[in-house]
Structure 1
Amino acid sequence: MQRSTASHSPALDRRIARLRELAEAEPRLEGVLLYGSWTLGEADAHSDIEAYLYVRDAHAEDFDGREFLGRLAPLKLAYTNMYGILAVVFDDLMRGEFHLVAAGPGIEEVPSWRGTVHLPDPGAAVLLDRGGRLTAAAARLADPCPPEPGPTAQQLADELANWTLMLAHVLGRGETARAHALLHTVVAPQQLQLCRLLRGSTTHWLTPSRALEQDLPAADRDRYTATTAPAVLPAVRTAARRSWQWSRELATEAAARWGTRLPAALHEEIGVLLERG
């Protein structure tokens, strides 16, 4: 069943409607494809607008994305971010991320996103399609493609062991800030993914902390909270130990369910290092 793209953000709805009007009137654009919370029916007053602007190949080098988006609404900020995406801030503080892509190769790439992008209602996500190719490509993303449990669990369990070992060594050096960053930006997302896999809650797979309060049981939320800490060495050490204990429990649960490998001796050694740190 397709999910509705109805949002709880009238401002975003109006901006998307305006983007459609501008795109239809801009002959250099061949297609526009939305992605993100609006296409999942999860947009609210805090959501941004995310889209691919497919520029006709002949104009790929001369199309001015900043100028075009300035017609959508006045811009307070516009720059190319670290991922090569045109990031903007509109006058009402709504954020936007726009990929400016040559239509030829860009549209051909869309089906390869299966497994990383889900468009429950491709018809609503496609704001402009002059030739029909974009609609056909987006339709390939209509069905969810959840991660394969066994191999994914093995990958995540191995990642958690590897990165937590690094965390233990960093703590051993007394590098508080680096350990804090590792714990919260590297270990925690993979931990939450493994937890989501075990709970059968993979809707927000790519951003596993999203809607955590609604998606996961209270017990898991409490375990996650216990792995967070201020950037103070004793607190980070305590959080790291709690994090590794939870990772081990998740890995053990995965092994029991899917037969994944469980290097018990290594796990014990990592625990010993964390206790020393």
Structure 2
Amino acid sequence: MPHTRPTHARTAPAPLPADALPLDRRIESLRATAEADPRVEGVLLYGSWTLGEADAHSDLDACLYVREEDVDAFDGREFVERLAPLKLAYTNMYGILAVVFDDLMRGEFHVEPTGPGIAEIATWRGQVHFPRPEAAVLLDRTGRLTAAARELAAFTPPEPVITAQQLTDELANWTLMLAHVQARGEHARAHNLLHAVIAPLQLKLCRLLRGSTAHWLTPSRALEADLPGADVERYATTTGPLTSEAVRTAAANSWEWSRELAAEAADRWGTRLPLGLHEEIAGALAPGGGGDGLSSPLGSPAMECGP
């Protein structure tokens, strides 16, 4: 017989700091609202609340598993609006219902058909971690959602050798892209590449080397607490304002740190280092290196197809 709560006793979440209590109350409202709606067969939280890291700035992130015969007609906005008034609600670029509540708390709600949606959880391994799966499951009328969440209770760190090699190669490729863009005089684009593409790769490699992979998917999260001060200071040298000189300095510092991290990984795990290419990239990033240090034309179609 279907049941409105998991068959096990629900594990209470870890005590939250006082400034996270509004999120806690909204989550309880979500639980009650979902239990009262027979179309909703399961609710799974993800994000900082399930990791015990929620605070006043945390979002409410949830997957709503709706009966397959009801999912097409299910109005996600109307459902979420029962929790609190909304200032904004729209389908974001990833196809997820994104909302802003009246107290400026953000939220993301995936609406999925129960069967296929719960089956998909198995594909999240290595991307999502539920250290306390029973706390993440707000509603489970069949028991299937809890069972699926339990499969992601153990955190599996990334495999060092394969991951370090991938990151080493990615950093070389994207930094060469940066050199081309910088030489073209597109300083805003170079600035964006440094911060949006290269920095996360560097931080992942740094975390891998320091054995600090808990925040792997968002490597800048809790950076100041997770990594040694020297690494944080080094990361700071790879950032800067949007001026041609500042971007050039940050790019050179960034590549220097990338090479040091890659060399450290090679010493530890035997990963390959394309040393000749690394030197050429350094030359291309040097002042005046754009014209002579790059072997392909700056205006080539291949470069125009880059990000």
Please report how far the alpha carbon of residue 78 of structure 1 lies from its aligned counterpart in structure 2 after TM superposition.
0.3
Contact 1:34 1:50 in 2 (8 A): yes
Write out aligned runs for 1:71-220 (5 A).
Answer: 71-220=82-231
AA in 1 matched with 2:218: T
Q: State the secondary structure of the residue aligned to 1:165.
A: helix
CA shift for structure 1 position 7: 2.3
Are 2:19 and 1:7 aligned?
Answer: no
SS in 1 for 2:239: coil
Question: In 2 relative to 1, CA 3–244 (structure 1 residues): closer, same or farther, beyond 3 Å?
Answer: farther
Q: Distance in 1 between matches of 2:237 and 2:122?
A: 39
Q: Secondary structure at the match of 1:185?
A: helix
Contact residue 5 and residue 40 of structure 1 kept, 8 A: no
| Aligned length, in residue pairs | 276
Map of 2:45 onto structure 1? 34
SS state of the match for residue 51, structure 1?
Answer: strand
Counterpart of 1:43 in 2: which secondary structure? coil
Provide TM-score, normalisation by structure 1. 0.98
Corresponding residue SS for 1:57:
coil
Q: State the shift of 1:111 in Å.
A: 1.7
1:246 aligns with 2:245: no
* Structure-2 separation of matches of 1:4 and 1:69: 22
| 2:235 matched residue in structure 1 | 224
Tell me how far apart the structure 2 counterparts of residues 57 and 169 of structure 1 sit (CA, whole Å).
Answer: 50
What per-residue deviation string (whole Å, max 9, x for no partner) do you get for residues 72-127 of structure 1?
A: 00000000000001000000000000001111100001122111000000001000
Question: Which amino acid is the alignment partner of residue 59 of structure 1?
Answer: D
> Structure 2: any 5+ residue segments left out of the alignment?
1-10, 291-307
| Paired position in structure 1 for 2:7 | none
> Secondary structure in 2 aligned to 1:72?
coil
d(CA) in 2 for partners of 1:3, 1:230: 45
2:6 is aligned to none
Q: Are 2:12 and 2:135, in contact at CA under 8 Å, matched by a contact in 1?
A: no
Answer whether contact 1:3 1:41 (CA < 8 A) is retained: no
Give the alignment's TM-score, normalised by structure 2. 0.89
CA RMSD after TM alignment: 1.2
Q: Which has the greater radius of gyration? A: 2
In structure 1, give the amino acid aligned to 2:95: G
